[in-house]
Amino acid sequence: MNGNTKIQVFHVHFFPNEDIFSRGVNPFAILNEINELGACLVCPYFIEIPSLEHFEVGICFFSWNIFLETTKTESDIEDVFMFVFGQYEIHQISTFSLLGNDVFLQKIKELISFSPLISASDLENCVKDFSNTKSEIELFIDNSENTEKILIQDNSYVYTGQATSSIKVSSEKLDNLMNLVSELITKQAALSLLAEEEKNPNLLIVIEDIEKITRKLKDNALNIRLVPINNLLLSLRQMVHQIAAELNKEVDFAIEGGETELDKNIIDYLATPLMHILRNSIDHGIEQAEVRVQKAKPPKGRLQLFAFHTGTNVFIQIHDDGAGIDVHEIREKAIQKNLIPKDAILTNKEIYNLLFIPHFSAAKRVTETSGNGMGLDIVKQKIFSLRGEVEIDSELHLGTIVTIKLPLTLSIIDTLLISIDHFRFLIPVSAVDSCEEIEHSELIKIHQKRFILNDELVPFLYLRDEFEILENPPDIEKIIVVKYEEKRVALIVDTIIGEHQAVLKPLGEIFKNQDYFSGASILGDGNVAFVIDVNKLIKRKNK
């Protein structure tokens, strides 16, 4: 940061409405965002709390006095309160350092103890006492969770929080750490294989301990790479309001789950697809105010982004309350472009998937903002390159939901190691529901590719047929039931060898057009096993 940067001290009074939680806004996330702007003194106080018999869960009884020392402007602070209009006040109280002064902090505490509603005149009188001792300083943010640090020109430090609990590490160092952990996992698998061949019980005990340590090291390394998705969403928020202003539309943009974490490499690639989706939602989804009023909708459109974890995946959903998608219109356009025959029978979901075809656009007009057919195909390419999925659901006149499903990390995943004949394959554990077995003699009697499993009719794929491995099937074969959308599908394989931590490697350009595998991994014996992309495989068979 430039050493000549001037700082300001602001007093922020944050008094959220009591229903703030029910509206999906987290006031503590707002406080965290303010904390990231500079050095903070945050003083909470209670509004009158009712007795226990009248207490309502979900009501906010807190307000806050916040003193912020920052190089940012008042406008930057207002951006933090984008979703709590009219529930805050911001006043600049000085253009010189105050929070490093113990006497000033003590005076502030005395003011607040007397009355949490600090008047402007009280603050002005308090600041006057220190105007003769001001010093020009540069604000230095340590970027830790609990500590903000001010660097004064004489190189002394004043801490306004707890001891440092985190440090800055370059992305290059994190990548190197992840590469070393990946190599360690591969070598550990080879060592385990050698130990099993030696049949030395003492060696097996040591190898088991090394495996536990390696797994913990892997988990820690992956966690270090995780960053909150808010880091990306905050930059998109400004874009949403800019596009809405350009299109003369009023749009409320709400974010929920911004604290959800993803691998930093995934977040780096998410900006483009999210930008396209949000742009389309504003331009072609949300109607002009007068049109919305005619449809008995609020004049201001609603755009919401939700992020949440489910198992080893992260879901990002973008909802709008706009015009929705007309499936009949898309179908007709697809017929005109010879993408589907006139007599094709398609579900709504299959029709929505047509929107991901390159240069296919449902827009009635082409604008500078969108509608040139270059949006959703880019979204699909980017998401698929991250081993993710994207889906659209919509209801005409009510709105559209775009759902993105992403793996938590791209580097190392837990898999099930299987074999078909002498070939080895890997199936992500996150996709596996259960494992069974079946006699081959019983399997060949089934002609409809469905059997009853635990009182449920389950379709199955015989992977020997899919991979054209037709000779010498075993007498007993294994059933791996996987989750596909809202259904269960069975994969039939020869043998389940066991769980395996897979260090994923890309397949390269030669294999980019195949629909079976998402990557490969080197096993302990040095052989390569392909990672089966369960969703792609099942989708291909459902076409």
Residue 541 has pLDDT above 80, yes or no: no
Task: Identify the sign of the CA torsion 135, 141, 144, 146.
Answer: positive
Amino acid identity, position 459: P
Q: Which pLDDT score, from 0 to 100, does residue 260 have? A: 86
Q: Give yes or no for a contact between 330 and 360, defined as CB atoms under 8 angstroms apart.
A: no
Band (111; pLDDT cuts 50, 70, 90): confident
Q: How much is the average pLDDT of 309-315?
A: 78
pLDDT per residue as tens digits for the range 422-452: 899 999 887 888 888 899 998 888 877 888 8
Whole-number pLDDT of residue 140: 38
pLDDT tens column, 512-527 = 677 788 788 888 778 8
Cα dihedral 498/501/503/504 (nearest 10): 60
Question: Which two tokens mark 392?
Answer: 């659209």
- When the pLDDT of each residue in the chain is averaged and rounded to a whole number, the result is 80
pLDDT tens figures, 377-426: 888 888 887 878 899 999 998 999 999 988 877 777 888 999 999 899 99
Residues 284-295 have a mean pLDDT of: 90
| Exposure class string for 364-397: b at 16+ Cβ within 10 A, else e | eeeeebbbebebbbebbebbeebbbbbebbbeee
Residue 267, Ramachandran bin (φ over 0: left; ψ between -120 and 50: alpha; else beta): alpha
CB 439 within 8 A of CB 475: yes
- What are 72's two structure tokens? 């940012």
CA separation for the pair 368, 121 (Å, rounded): 50
Task: State the Cα–Cα distance between residues 229 and 255, nearest whole angstrom.
Answer: 10
**CA dist., res. 35 & res. 161, Å (int):** 11
pLDDT at position 373 over 50: no
Q: In this structure, are residues 43 and 117 in contact, taking their beta carbons and an 8 Å threshold?
A: no
The pLDDT value recorded for residue 25 is 72
Region for residue 286 given its phi and psi (left: phi exceeds 0; alpha: psi -120 to 50; beta: otherwise): beta
Q: How far is CA 305 from the centre of its chain?
A: 10
What are the tokens at 308?
């949440």
Nearest by Cα to 418 from 530, 539, 522: 530
Element (H, E) at 303: strand 301-310
pLDDT band at 303 (very low <50, low <70, confident <90, very high): very high
Structure tokens at 517: 């595998």
Quote the CA–CA distance of 484 and 243 in Å, as a whole number: 36
Q: In the predicted model, is pLDDT for residue 164 greater than 50?
A: no
Residue 365 is given by DSSP the state: S
The reported pTM is 0.57
Amino acid at 62: F
> What are the distances in angstroms from CA 306 to CA 254, 300, 432?
8, 19, 26
The residue type of 307 is: A
**How many Cα atoms occupy the beta-carbon half-sphere of 453 within 13 Å?**
22
State the angle between helix axes of 264-280 and 376-385 in degrees (0 to 180), rounded to the nearest 10.
Answer: 160
Q: Is 218 helix (H, G, I), strand (E, B) or coil?
A: helix
